Amino acid sequence: MTRRLIARFAALGGAGALLICAVLIPAQVVRAATAPDVTVKVVSVSPDVPPATTDVTPLTVNLELTNTTSATLSQLRIDITREPPISSAQALRRELASPVEGNSQPFRLPSQTLDGDLGPRASRRVTLNLSTSTDSTAPGSLCLCRTGVYPLDFAVHASGGSATGSPERGWGQTYIPSVADVQINSTWLWPFFERPHRMISDTLFVDDALAQSVSAGGRLDRALAALERASNISNVTLVLDPELLDELVVMTQGYRVQVASGAPRAGTGGHAAQLWLERLKAVLARAGGYSFSAYADPDVDALTEAGIPWASTLPTAMAQRISLALELSDRHDIAWPAGQTVSRSALSALATSGVQAVLLDDATLPGAQDDGGGHVTIPGSPASALVVSRGVNAVVSSVVSTNGGGLSALPAMVSSALMPAIEETNNFVVLTPDRYADVDPSRAAAAIDATTTGPFRPVSARTALTDVDTYSAGDLVTPNGAEDAELSQAQLQLINAARASTGTLAGALGESGAATVLAGYPEGIQRAQSSAWRQDRSAGLAFAGALAQDGSALSNAVRIVRPSQGSYSLASSDSPLYLYVRNELPVPVSVKVAVAAVGDVRGFSADPSGAETIQPGSVQRFRVQAHVERSGHFTVAATLTTPSGVQVGPTERLSIYSKALGTIGVVITFVAGSVLAVALLVRFSRRFRNRARARKASSVPAGMT
């Protein structure tokens, strides 16, 4: 993943920020013209899409005018202008990004004179009762004579303050779609995702924040209330994290919450969780269906790139609890990857797990027709894509979120959603709030209702997969900033450390022992892999770090006992080395001991011991056959391994002192002794010969020499 580190954080501020700003600006539909003395906010427009008829049809526009000056404004007048229709997505995007007061072929409606004054810093609501018709001769009506989106401008004139006469004091704009016989299929995917609140225990929570989220006024409470208030949710598919559902089910049955110090306390959210789940069941009965993510919603792109697996099916106990409480099965045919992006390898893994379609955006499949999204085939993949337009969904977010423009942005949302059909490029639009949206229930319900009537034909996502035509948008790309948003390298390393510790220990425990000691760790590891940690990286690191630390502590519970003197002495070249191993786990473990010289120093070796079973809470002696080839000091590393040879627990460094000569020493001693013996033999032989010569010389008669 070195390529992920290149230009990390560099791309986030560019295209994404410009896109969001471009669409969110008109959400308020506010623009001061000549003098920004009055802000003009279009609060609502009804109906959202006027009927295409020659009959004169009422159109109600509610405005909010705010005097931003310290002077009283009087003689208030609103001039109303309808601009020429916009008939392309590109032109509509430009208008939404930078609304401009129409100067080209404007159609002017009769001005509206307002009674009364507008005091300093005061606001007032104004209702404009207009009418529409497709008949250009209908008197006083807003002529919607062609298919397209009509910008409708409101210019406020007033006198007062330093101005003379009645100059323009403020300006605002909204959008009126005219669709004739145009129809478009519409579907919503509605997310219920939350960061994990458990680690390895099903009933011990790391905090009690979920209780607040599902209580009255909480984020998940509001997300569910939006669906309850909507008149028709047949086109809404709920995308649910089963980890979240299981947490709530467990809360109803009694749970504990870990505190900073001391014993865990009883959780407080059981009643709120029960009420929320009951409401969810009622919503599911009205909705267009549901799909599960993999539990804990793992970050599939980051994990696939790092080679870390995740579970696509539910743990047995979790599946049983959810089935009993909600009568839901593990259905996960529609996937919502974090960020609406997916790599080719992650897509392959999702398709293998049974996913039929993935929710992507038009930055991941940029060939989606005019960024309109739709139902798209992906070359080389059995899974198709439900593609959302970033531009459209930015306006959706502005409508439904608590900090957005609200219903004033609804006309822009409806117009943007209809534009693919107006352009005749696509007959299907996919809409979603943000993944962790904090929605306003009334606004969100209004947004859903606006896409179920008139030109909108509501269809569920699952129905769309079979009934809505597909088109090819080309291959997948990785949008700028997508990799930067994934789980960090540091968190992935901690996840791998936890996997390594618990995975190797499992080899020493056996099936029953692993089921006892490692229960909950696979779930804990998947929770550490949640894409929700993208939203809070420091909390994600802390979660994964605590899990890795627990896994390491488990592995270190089986270890070699260091001798009190810290060293061993060997008396001969083939002396046995006795090591003691402690098992602090509550189950038996089977391990072997291996000893090797540190740094590949020559002169010491040892045969690995056989596998031995150590009972819970006991110490066992292991006999290791050592071999030394010289006397002196050796630093050795002693390790425990599973019967298959995978290391368990920490490596222990030991000191070994050998008094034995070893093979080389014996050879040297033998050779030296032999040389000495030969030398002595030669010396004694010479001395013997010299003495023999002396005796011979002394025995010769005088004169004979």
Kindly report, residue by residue over 63-102, the tens digit of the pLDDT: 999 999 999 999 999 999 999 999 998 899 889 888 887 6
pLDDT of residue 704: 46
Question: How many Å separate Cα 31 from the centre of its chain?
Answer: 37
Tell me the whole-structure pTM to 2 decimals: 0.84
pLDDT of residue 577: 87
pLDDT of residue 575: 83
Q: How far is CA 396 from CA 365, 406, 591, in A?
A: 20, 9, 59
Does residue 224 sit within a domain?
no
Instruction: Indicate whether 66 and 163 sit together in one domain.
Output: yes
- In degrees, rounded to 5, the angle at the alpha carbon of residue 286 between the alpha carbons of residues 285 and 287 is 100
Instruction: Indicate whether 503 and 633 sit together in one domain.
Output: no
Instruction: Indicate whether 499 and 645 sit together in one domain.
Output: no
pLDDT of residue 696: 62
358 SS3 class: strand
Helices 390-400 and 15-24 pack at an angle, to 10 degrees, of 50
Domain end among 502, 521, 555: 555
Instruction: Indicate whether 628 and 505 sit together in one domain.
Output: no
Contacts of 597-602 spanning 24+ positions with Cβ under 8 A: 597/634, 597/635, 597/636, 597/637, 598/635, 598/636, 598/637, 598/653, 599/635, 601/634, 601/635, 602/629
491 SS3 class: helix
Can you give 104-144 as a three-state secondary structure string?
A: CCCEEEEEEECCCCECCCCEEEEEEEEEEECCCCCCCCEEC
Token duo for residue 292: 């599960």
Instruction: Indicate whether 649 and 673 sit together in one domain.
Output: no
How confident is the prediction for the chain on average, in pLDDT?
87
Phi, psi of 348 (to 5 degrees): -60, -40
Domain tally for the chain? 5
Contacts of 436-439 spanning 24+ positions with Cβ under 8 A: 436/191, 436/193, 436/219, 436/532, 436/535, 437/191, 437/223, 437/397, 437/400, 437/401, 438/219, 438/222, 438/401, 438/402, 438/403, 439/222, 439/223, 439/226, 439/400, 439/401, 439/402
Pick the range with the lowest mean pLDDT from 466-470, 535-539, 566-570, 681-685. 681-685
Instruction: Indicate whether 408 and 514 sit together in one domain.
Output: no
Does residue 278 sit within a domain?
no
Question: What's the CATH number where 156 sits?
Answer: 2.60.40.10
Pick the range with the lowest mean pLDDT from 285-294, 366-375, 596-605. 366-375
Question: What's the CATH number where 308 sits?
Answer: 3.20.110.10
pLDDT tier at 613, thresholds 50, 70, 90: very high
Kindly report, residue by residue over 180-224, the tens digit of the pLDDT: 888 999 999 999 999 999 999 999 999 999 999 999 999 999 999
pLDDT of residue 68: 94
pLDDT of residue 372: 66
pLDDT of residue 682: 64
Kindly report, residue by residue over 623-669, the tens digit of the pLDDT: 999 888 888 888 899 999 999 888 888 898 888 888 765 455 555 55
Instruction: Indicate whether 449 and 504 sit together in one domain.
Output: no
Instruction: Indicate whether 56 and 172 sit together in one domain.
Output: yes
pLDDT of residue 165: 82
pLDDT tier at 104, thresholds 50, 70, 90: low
Instruction: Indicate whether 545 and 578 sit together in one domain.
Output: no
pLDDT of residue 611: 92
Does residue 281 sit within a domain?
no
Kindly report, residue by residue over 247-306, the tens digit of the pLDDT: 999 999 999 999 988 899 999 999 999 999 999 999 999 999 999 999 999 999 999 999
- What are 257's strand-pairing partners? 205, 265
pLDDT at 12 over 80: no
Kindly report, residue by residue over 458-507, the tens digit of the pLDDT: 999 999 999 988 888 778 998 989 999 999 999 999 999 999 999 889 98
Pick the range with the lowest mean pLDDT from 100-104, 148-152, 697-701. 697-701
Question: What's the CATH number where 651 sits?
Answer: 2.60.40.2310
Token duo for residue 322: 């959810």
Pick the range with the lowest mean pLDDT from 23-27, 590-594, 619-623, 696-700. 23-27
Kindly report, residue by residue over 298-351, the tens digit of the pLDDT: 999 999 999 999 999 999 999 999 999 999 999 999 999 999 999 999 999 999
Instruction: Indicate whether 470 and 395 sit together in one domain.
Output: yes
Helices 390-400 and 441-450 pack at an angle, to 10 degrees, of 140
In this structure, are residues 392 and 413 in contact, taking their beta carbons and an 8 Å threshold?
A: yes
Burial 646-669, CB ≥16 within 10 A → b, else e: eebbeebebebebebbbeebeeee
Under DSSP, the state recorded for 298 is: B
Does residue 465 sit within a domain?
yes
Does residue 484 sit within a domain?
no
Does residue 219 sit within a domain?
no
pLDDT of residue 4: 37
Under DSSP, the state recorded for 26 is: G
pLDDT at 688 over 70: no
In this structure, are residues 581 and 619 in contact, taking their beta carbons and an 8 Å threshold?
A: yes
Does residue 455 sit within a domain?
yes
Kindly report, residue by residue over 425-470, the tens digit of the pLDDT: 888 999 999 999 899 999 999 999 999 999 999 999 999 999 988 8
pLDDT tier at 564, thresholds 50, 70, 90: confident
Q: How far is CA 367 from CA 172, 362, 467, in A?
A: 34, 7, 21
pLDDT at 10 over 50: no
In this structure, are residues 190 and 223 in contact, taking their beta carbons and an 8 Å threshold?
A: yes
In this structure, are residues 439 and 222 in contact, taking their beta carbons and an 8 Å threshold?
A: yes
Kindly report, residue by residue over 259-272, the tens digit of the pLDDT: 988 899 999 999 99
For residue 413, the enclosing domain spans 185-198+234-242+290-477
Can you give 561-630 as a three-state secondary structure string?
A: ECCCCCEEEECCCCCEEEEEEEECCCCCEEEEEEEEEHHHCCCEEECCCCCEEECCCEEEEEEEEEEECC
Under DSSP, the state recorded for 701 is: P
Does residue 6 sit within a domain?
no
Phi, psi of 458 (to 5 degrees): -70, 130
Instruction: Indicate whether 392 and 469 sit together in one domain.
Output: yes
pLDDT at 34 over 50: no
Instruction: Indicate whether 467 and 348 sit together in one domain.
Output: yes
pLDDT over 70 for what percent of the chain? 87
pLDDT at 23 over 50: no
